[in-house]
Amino acid sequence: MVKQEWFKSLASIFTLIAFGSTAYCCQPDGNNSGRSSALVLVEQMQEITTHDELTGNQTKQLDKVAKALRSLGQIGLNTAANFRESEANRGASKKKLELIDLQLDKIAAQKSSRDSRLFWHKSLEAAKADSEARHRPILSLRLLGNLDEDLSCANSRFFRTILYSDPEIADLLRTRFVLHWQSVREVPIVTVDFGDGRRLRQPIIGNSVHLVLGDQGRVFDALPGLVTPGKFVIWLSSVSGLHHQLRQMDPQTSEQTIQVWHRKRANRRRLESELTIRMNQPVKDLNPLDPRWTVAATALNVTTGGRVLELLNHQRPDAAAAMRIAPLKMAAEIPLLRMVDAVEPRIAHDSFFNLYGLQPKIDDWYTQNPGTGDYQRLTERIYEEIFLMPLSDPWLGLSPENGFIALDSGGRLAPGTPKSSTTTSFNPARN
């Protein structure tokens, strides 16, 4: 392409950006106009990434191309992902592929998006407009941190690795749902100083929830925490089917249908396992470390599957086993142990606990109150009563008022507090 044509095409990038991120998001996935625009933009991406090392000006241009491709929605993401695949097939350098991967993540608004090719809205209003145009429910992920960053909360990192990268799940999400994510607050980071210059730093809280929204943005179901790919597929199919039914109903009938649907699911779970949380039982009374959850998961054939085990087998040691050997010294430490334990890939155990220990409690809310479903209020209630980490608590339940750990101020260090000589520090701010 000659230089004059290149600048002419670059001008089209600014035109696309000016339309905003919703300009093409509601177009059908096969829209010819959007596809043609995406191909022009990918040509610019190819031109800019000819060399592995970019100048500052080229980096800015590449960011603008990614922003314009994002404005095209799923079409822009698919076209860029196809370009990345073709570059890999022809033997492009690792540095160049990493550079393209970075742009894919910006287009998708998801870290590690290359395999899943899922386009996520970051604006709920844009997601609602897309949902109305395509007659699809919204799958909204509420999480700590941000889905397009490496250090998001533990559950969301496992979602990216285990669920969203699964071909069957990715296909279901692309074809039946409009995707959206929104952070509830920054993800807490723990730093352990070993005293010899070595430090361990990572997020410690892993609670995220998938909400499903129908007409008028009302939430009609929620799935807390991580479940196995098989169970996630079943859940996606069930809520997609329910949404199709609700679209044919008037508001009153829809409300009654949602109540009955949740009542039936809770009753079924309680018949399937005696470990299922009782209607009037608070979540805080459950012990997520109880080995009976794993036994029950096996009995009901809640398994991770070979692909998941292959992905995770080499990634982390089973710290949960070590934790069970160590005594649970103080009640104040139990929330922290729960969160560290939840990071470990005991997927079948966690799946059963989330499906039978946590989700039936949400079913009960819908059964008892037909008004359940407000997006923000339900999110806050889930974090407070299901995850036991109120979003209004600056310490997210990790430092209970009635806990005693024999440290000044309970070990809390507010912003501006001078650093002490303690070996473990807690930093609730973003990395």
Per the DSSP assignment, residues forming a β-bridge with 424 are 192
- Helix (H/G/I), strand (E/B), else coil: 182: strand
What does the pLDDT look like over 110-148, one tens digit per residue? 999 998 999 999 999 999 999 999 999 999 999 999 999
Check residue 114 and report its DSSP letter: T
Pairing mode, strands 209-213 and 189-193: unpaired
What does the pLDDT look like over 80-96, one tens digit per residue? 999 999 999 999 999 99
Pairing mode, strands 138-144 and 424-427: unpaired
Q: Which of the four pLDDT bands, split at 50, 70 and 90, describes residue 411?
A: low
CB-based contacts of 173, cutoff 8 Å, min separation 6: 116, 118, 139, 164, 179, 236
Domain-wise residue ranges, the chain: 1-108, 115-431
Q: Give burial (CB, 10 Å; 0-12/13-18/19+) of 194.
A: exposed
What does the pLDDT look like over 19-52, one tens digit per residue? 344 444 444 455 677 889 999 999 999 999 888 7
What share of the chain in percent tops pLDDT 70?
74
Query: Which two three-digit tokens encode residue 29?
Result: 């996935």
- Please give the full DSSP string across 66-78, using - where no structure is assigned: HHHHHHTTHHHHH
Q: Which of the four pLDDT bands, split at 50, 70 and 90, describes residue 413?
A: low
Per the DSSP assignment, residues forming a β-bridge with 212 are 139, 221
Q: Model pTM?
A: 0.81
If you average pLDDT over residues 297-309, what whole number do you get? 66
From residue 427, alpha-carbon distances to 144, 387, 391, 399 in Å are: 14, 20, 16, 13
Region for 225 from its dihedrals, namely left if φ exceeds 0, alpha if ψ lies in -120 to 50, beta otherwise: left
Q: How would you list the strands of the sheet with 178-185, edge to edge?
A: 120-121, 178-185, 138-144, 209-213, 219-224
From residue 108, alpha-carbon distances to 68, 77, 81, 83, 137 in Å are: 12, 6, 10, 15, 19
CATH class, range 115-431: alpha beta
Task: Output 58-61 pairs: Cβ under 8 A, ≥24 positions apart.
Answer: 61/10
From residue 395, alpha-carbon distances to 155, 321, 411 in Å are: 19, 27, 11
